[in-house]
Structure 1
């Protein structure tokens, strides 16, 4: 099992990763001959392209997911009736370009996250000491724990960017606010949050996010290891491998989605007069006031988000093959 951390802030990335492994990395045997920096930049370009392509869906998902807090803050005048209603209303009130609101910090997160994962991965693995002779249950536990630790360590450095992305994407032009936004941009989010809440405001929801990493990894590898022997043989094709990886990623994301909702709803209270006492208080309040299904609002957009990213990466694969061919001076096998 890999020690690469999978967490809620990386669900879109993991969706693109399962595609990238099958189509972008697969079939490009010469890619391994490129240097670390070139591979890092190519992977970064793929991530930025995928995230940017899926940004409108991601913003709609966040608006639907966080509408409960937006109604309390007065930045939303009435609830959304779903993803389609949210899309139409947002387009009418804000236009097309604001659908990419919050995409910059989301893209910026990728590079430090990958660098930190690379830095922490081997150290955490050495501390956990996985062995090939470990029973499945032990290996599974070590993988989930090591991934959770590495993910939490990385999250310390990039969490504020995810917070910033969430606040920007959930910032609407509301009639109650005179069609004015709360934030003017990424820097403004940092300034205002620091002024009202300090560093705590930038890290609200951090603990439940760390727990979410382990929960997500548990679902992901639990499902993958259970389903893989059934559908994949030794000679499984690229398409079947991608479908399995994509299906498991989406399923794990849906099963662990309530935790993502809780952490983002906690983020939304930074700067507000009334805050949740913790993640449990947040969950209880949401279920009591809005019903249990409110924890799943916007979950369907996760599937569409993955499709959008995968579609764009199919085109990016062609560019990557051309680059590798040019760089190495020979066709890609």
Structure 2
């Protein structure tokens, strides 16, 4: 095996394992966020039963389904998140070699900044091509009943073809490019300004990570909401289809719910 292949495999495994471990702790938060994002587009949740906020959502689900329900899709989430983050970090490093191969971060700051921006966006778009069906399968639908992640993917593929598994991909790739471009650009640029990034104090590294996550997430969140709405239409026909395309989804969501519709669960 070549050195490049070994390096790719190491980066892939390291990124995937770290991501999977962290994901298990935040699955309940992801579940609540997703419910708040898509509830007004769901036929199963009527307007009078929609959650008004995070606290109400958590309390209601705990009473109705039990606390364990927050981890119901834990394994499926980890299965999705492992390759997603592994690909993100692996491709990001490869793209950095392309965009930043001969760049001096001390004397060419804006070139360095732009290179990190391009590396993050390109890595996110490339990764999404491989893992999007997993993300699609985990989005709650109206009448989908599956025994698991594999059963879901197989049945959707058999009934609707590969195209259905990539429903909403266009808006998703826009969102991931914005998010990861901002995330890796700010994170790598900030770390790169330290004399010895590898030995950075853990508190400083944590503060940078949390700040970058929040800053990068805000501009891409509306697109994340729209993509989940588009995903939910899988299997719907005729008058049950709420949105004809991404722009129609933007327009109707803004008209029916207002600007807050795009930041539900943020």
TM-score (norm 1): 0.63
- Counterpart check, 1:213 vs 2:176: yes
Aligned residue for 1:144?
A: 117
CA–CA distance in 2 between the matches of 1:217 and 1:152? 9
1:219-234 equivalent positions in 2, closer than 5 A: 219-220=182-183
Q: CA deviation at 1:261?
A: 0.8
Aligned residue for 1:3?
A: none
Closer/same/farther in 2, CA of residues 196 and 152 from structure 1, 3 Å limit: same
CA–CA distance in 2 between the matches of 1:243 and 1:285? 38
CA–CA distance in 1 between the matches of 2:100 and 2:213? 26
Match of 1:74 among 44, 49, 72: 44
1:260-279 equivalent positions in 2, closer than 5 A: 260-273=224-237, 274-279=241-246
CA offsets 1:182-210 (integer angstroms, 9 cap, x no match):
44432342244335532222111212222
CA–CA distance in 2 between the matches of 1:295 and 1:91? 25
Closer/same/farther in 2, CA of residues 118 and 53 from structure 1, 3 Å limit: closer
CA–CA distance in 2 between the matches of 1:40 and 1:294? 36
CA–CA distance in 2 between the matches of 1:206 and 1:88? 33
Closer/same/farther in 2, CA of residues 115 and 91 from structure 1, 3 Å limit: closer
| Gap regions ≥5 residues in structure 2 | 1-6
Match of 2:27 among 55, 62, 65: 55
TM-score (norm 2): 0.77
Match of 2:210 among 218, 229, 246: 246
Question: How many pairs were matched up?
Answer: 252
| Gap regions ≥5 residues in structure 1 | 1-34, 172-176, 300-333
Aligned residue for 1:258?
A: 222
- Counterpart check, 1:202 vs 2:172: no
**Does the residue aligned with 2:138 lie in a helix, a strand or coil?**
helix
- Looking at both structures, which has the greater relative contact order when contacts are Cα pairs under 8 Å and sequence separation is at least 6? 1
